[in-house]
Every structure is written in C-alpha cells, then in structure tokens.
Amino acid sequence: MATKRNESISDAVIRRLPRYYRHLSELLANNISRVSSGELGKEMGLTASQVRQDLNHFGGFGQQGYGYSVSNLRDEIARILCIDMKHRLVVIGAGSLGGALAKYPNFAKRNLEIIAIFDQDPSVIGKKIGDLIVLPVTKLDDFVKHHPVDIGVLAIPKDQAKLMAKKLSELGVKGIWNFSSTDLEMEETAAVVENVHLTDSLMRLTYRLHN
C-alpha cells in the first residue's frame, strides 16, 4: 500500500519524489547509510519539516533519534514511484529526438525498457537505432497487440500528436510521454499524459535571465 489512507497526494509532493530518489542514490553511492530530515533537506534546498511532511504522506520511514536509513528510504521511494516494476516503452517518431530518447542511458536502472521505435518515413524505417530497428507505424497496432506496452513516447510533430495519443490509448497503452509541443489532454480516454515541453523550459530560462 503506497499511501497511508486514501488521501490524494498533491502534485508538489510527487514532483519532489524523484529528486529525493536521486539524492538518496547519491548518498548511497558515497556510502552514507543514514540521513536526517535536516541533512537531506539542506542538500535539496528544503526545510526539515517539509521533508518529514512529504515522507509521512506515504508512511513513517524514519526512526526517532536516528533519522532515516538511506537504502531503506530509497527503496521505499522507488516503490512509491513504481520503478520497482518493469515498464515497457515504445517510441513513436524516429527523428533525432526520438532516437535520442530510444538510446537514453538512464532508463535501464529504473526498470524502464524501450522495446520498439516507429516512424512513418520510408527513408527511416529499417534503420538501426541502438539495438532497435525502426518499424513502420503501420505495424504499431499489430506490435502492441502482441507485446505488453505500458508507455508510448511521442516524439512527432504536434499536428500528429493528438491522433497518435488517441490511437495508443485505444490500443490499451495507459501512459503517454509527450514531447510534441502541444498540451495533450485525455479526458475522454483513460491514458495518463506527462507533457515535456522543451521550449517552455527554455523560455522560463530566458525569463529568469533578464528578471
């Protein structure tokens, strides 16, 4: 059971979980086996209070007078984020971004596996990207029906994104990781969407550069 009660956890908390995970991994790599909320918070720019509040949404992982076991806490957060389970991804769009995502090295240790990559361009189909061969999108239906796919990664132009998201969702893919610069909202469907807007991120940087 991930949460203590059936309370819904705020997005602000969820956003911090992967950061906790990274920082705890870092501590672990440095052979540090225990950490207090104060120390962890200081590293991450959070108050001790906030760290304890965040963690206590999911259960009491610490021990009074001692703090938290780094490896235990890291495992708990991995479990909360569900990266203790294997997830299978397909990438739609074998352009340079799709290709880069398909080869991204940091997925494996989080149990994330890219199992196929698709494109519609005949000049790209058949090419090798890492260990994968680019398949024609026309084979997508067939592929998904015969392989378990948890997440579809959209690295295609924005005008095709909505349609492809709908298709994936209809095929039973439950998660969409969207790199097309349009906000996908899937009210109709059951799929969960996570939008990554690279230019939005860069525009926040240009804002802060001058303010």
Within residues 57-96, the interface with a copy of itself by CB under 8 A covers 80-83, 85, 87, 95-96
Interaction between residue 32 and a copy of itself (CB under 8 A): no
Q: Could you write out the DSSP letters of every residue in 9-77? A: PPHHHHHHHHHHHHHHHHHHHTT--EE-HHHHHHHHT--HHHHHHHHHTT----BTTTBEEHHHHHHHH
Task: Work out how close the CB of 149 gets to DNA at its nearest, in angstroms, rounded to a whole number.
Answer: 32
Contact 118, 173 (CB under 8 A): no
75 binds, among a copy of itself, DNA, none (CB under 5 to 8 A by kind): none
DSSP, collapsed to helix, strand or coil, labels residue 137 as helix
Contact 48, 37 (CB under 8 A): yes
Cα(49)–Cα(158) distance, rounded to whole angstroms?
42
Question: Of 6, 30, 31, 65, which lies in the binding site for DNA, with binding defined by CB under 7 A?
Answer: 65
Question: Of 17, 24, 55, 114, which lies in the binding site for DNA, with binding defined by CB under 7 A?
Answer: 55
The span of 32-40, 74-82, 181-189, 200-208 binding DNA (CB under 7 A) equals 32-40
Cα(181)–Cα(159) distance, rounded to whole angstroms?
9
Interaction between residue 100 and a copy of itself (CB under 8 A): yes
The span of 48-56, 146-154, 168-176, 187-195 binding DNA (CB under 7 A) equals 48-56
Interaction between residue 126 and DNA (CB under 7 A): no
Question: Of 61, 104, 107, 143, which lies in the binding site for DNA, with binding defined by CB under 7 A?
Answer: 61
- Cβ-Cβ contacts under 8 Å for 191 (sequence gap 6 or more): 165, 168, 169, 173, 174, 175, 176
Cα(37)–Cα(50) distance, rounded to whole angstroms?
9
The burial of 138, by beta-carbon neighbours within 10 Å (0-12 exposed, 13-18 middle, 19 or more buried), is given as: exposed
Question: Of 17, 21, 24, 52, which lies in the binding site for DNA, with binding defined by CB under 7 A?
Answer: 52
Interaction between residue 71 and DNA (CB under 7 A): no
Nearer to a copy of itself, 12 or 146 (CB): 12
Interaction between residue 46 and DNA (CB under 7 A): yes
Nearer to a copy of itself, 14 or 133 (CB): 14
DSSP, collapsed to helix, strand or coil, labels residue 135 as strand
Nearer to DNA, 46 or 164 (CB): 46
Q: Return residues touching DNA (CB under 7 A).
A: 10-13, 36-38, 46-50, 52-53, 55-56, 60-68
